[in-house]
Structures are given as C-alpha cells and as structure tokens.
Copies of this chain bind each other. A is one copy, B any other.
Amino acid sequence: MKQLYIIGSGPGSPAHLTPAARAAIDASHELVGHGLFLNLLGDLTHGKGCHKPPMGEEITRARLALDLAASGRTTSLISSGDAGIYAMATVVFELLERQPKPDWDAVDIQVIPGISAMQAAAARVGAPLAHDFCAISLSDLLTPWETIERRVVAAAQGDFIVAFYNAVSRKRSWQLQRAVDILLQHRPPTTPTVVAFNISRKGEQISVTELQALVPDKLNMLTLVLVGNSDTRRVGNWVYTPRGYGQKPEMRETVTPSDE
C-alpha cells in the first residue's frame, strides 16, 4: 500500500510526541517538513530521506510528500504542533482538490493529531483554556486583514479566551497591537495574558503579564500569545479560567477542621 502520514509532532519535546506519530515516523522511508521541526526529531530521522523545503514553500512540501508516497516510498509529512491546526494537512487536501494527479489516487492518507502550541503553553501556566476559547492566526499573508479583524471583534464580543498564532513576524507587529486594542474594549486591562516561546524546547520562555502590558515588538514568529477571558484569574503562580464550579455548595463553603 502506498502511504502518506500527515503528522503533528507536538510542541517539540519527545515527551509530547504521541506513540501514533512516532510509529508513523518509524514506518516511513521519507520525511518531509521544515528543517527546524525535522531537526527536533533527533535520532528518529536516522536512515531516512529528509526533505526540508524552506518556510513559505508549503505547497512544494505537500506536493513532494504526495509524489514520494505515490512512488511507493512510505512518507511522513511533518508539522510541529497539530498537523490540522495552521499546519500542513490542509495544503495536501487543497492540492488533491485543485490539482488532482492520477498517481495520488493510490495513496492512502492518514492524519495523526499532535499537541498544539496553545495546549503546551496552557499546561505550563495552569488552565487558562478551561472555558470556551478560540484560535486566531494574525498572519495576513493568505487571509485578508478585514477577515482577521472581524474574528478578533467577534472573539472580544463573545468573551472567548483567545490563542493568537503567528502573532507577530519580522515584518509585522501592528496586527497584535490592533488585536489587543480591540480586546481591551471588552475585557479588563488586567486580564492575564500568557506569552510563550519554544515551549518544551531548548530556550523555552514563558511569562504571564496583563493584557494592557503586552509589548508586541518584543515577540517573534514562534511566540504564542494566550489572552484570558473576563473571568480568567491568577492563583499563586498559576493562571486558570473558572468554569462555574464556584456556584456549587462544595466550592462555596469554607472548609473548617470540623467539616472533615
């Protein structure tokens, strides 16, 4: 059988690479992905063909992976995080629809999910994503800014916790500032905001600030920004969003020694 695996390798550490993803990589002859993410796999890549078209070459990467698989080489197309969240899986399906090739029909495709950056960041600081949340990419390379801004406004009006992917890049930081300004119209300036970089990888940095104190200029392309909703709170060093358990009598009562 001709096989293409589309894999999410998680935030970086092998501790978050699922057994399903690892088994698919083990079974592959060829690996296709951005060099940064293939390098994170370390020994797992040994003895395999490694193909690393640069960032921006997503279509080349997807086509190459389909072609390699169609040639009979079991192939893994690798994204960091989750392959289905701002990553490579959609590019493969769009190619299959727009530029079908008869060779590709014989390829069996399997998508394997992974831990996305927002999950890894959330776990490090507590449970900020514990109520309704959304993910928004601030990259306007492929999506018109009007569409993105409309989503930020909707997220603000709906009081969603927001995970910003592609929050800033070398060429742009005004989008994040604009998004923050929109959110500030609907939630407190002190809203806990998590700034996460390289989670579970070398050079990991994570900090918690207030929405009003976020400085977009200091961030980069690999930074994930998580903004709490109007209920998100801090307890000690942790950040969490309550779900409403505080209304329950067991949570309201003060526990005194005589209760126990």
What is the interface residue range for chain A against chain B?
35 or more
B residues less than 8 Å from A124 (CB atoms): 111
Interface residues of A (CB under 8 A from B): 10, 13-20, 23, 58-60, 82-87, 89-99, 101, 109, 111-116, 119-120, 122-124, 126-137, 141-143, 147-148, 150-151, 153-155, 157-160, 233, 235-236, 238, 240-248, 250-255
B residues less than 8 Å from A113 (CB atoms): 16, 115, 119-120, 122-123
Which of A98, A99, A158, A243 gathers most chain B CB within 10 Å? A158
**The one of B98, B135, B154 that contacts A251, using a Cβ cutoff of 8 Å:** B98
B residues less than 8 Å from A115 (CB atoms): 18, 113-115
Question: If the complex has contacts A15-B20, A97-B235, A151-B160, are A142 and B89 also in contact, measured as CB distance less than 8 A?
Answer: no
- Bound CA span A98–B160, Å: 23
Taking A60-B250, A134-B158 as given, write out 20 further A-B residue pairs in contact, using a Cβ cutoff of 8 Å, ordered by the A residue number.
A13-B20, A16-B113, A17-B18, A59-B248, A59-B250, A84-B130, A85-B119, A85-B129, A89-B126, A91-B245, A92-B127, A93-B127, A94-B245, A97-B235, A99-B253, A111-B127, A113-B115, A132-B134, A142-B243, A158-B158
How far apart are A58's CB and chain B's nearest CB, in angstroms?
7
- Bound CA span A128–B89, Å: 9
Do B23 and A15 have beta carbons less than 8 Å apart?
A: yes
Instruction: Say how many copies of this protein the assembly contains.
Output: 2
Do A126 and B254 have beta carbons less than 8 Å apart?
A: no
- Bound CA span A124–B83, Å: 12
**The one of B92, B130, B155 that contacts A89, using a Cβ cutoff of 8 Å:** B130
How far apart are A130's CB and chain B's nearest CB, in angstroms?
4
Q: What 4 pairs between A and B have smallest CB-CB spacing? A: A154-B158, A142-B244, A90-B130, A134-B134
- Bound CA span A248–B220, Å: 25
- Bound CA span A214–B164, Å: 31
B residues less than 8 Å from A235 (CB atoms): 93, 96-97
- Bound CA span A60–B58, Å: 48
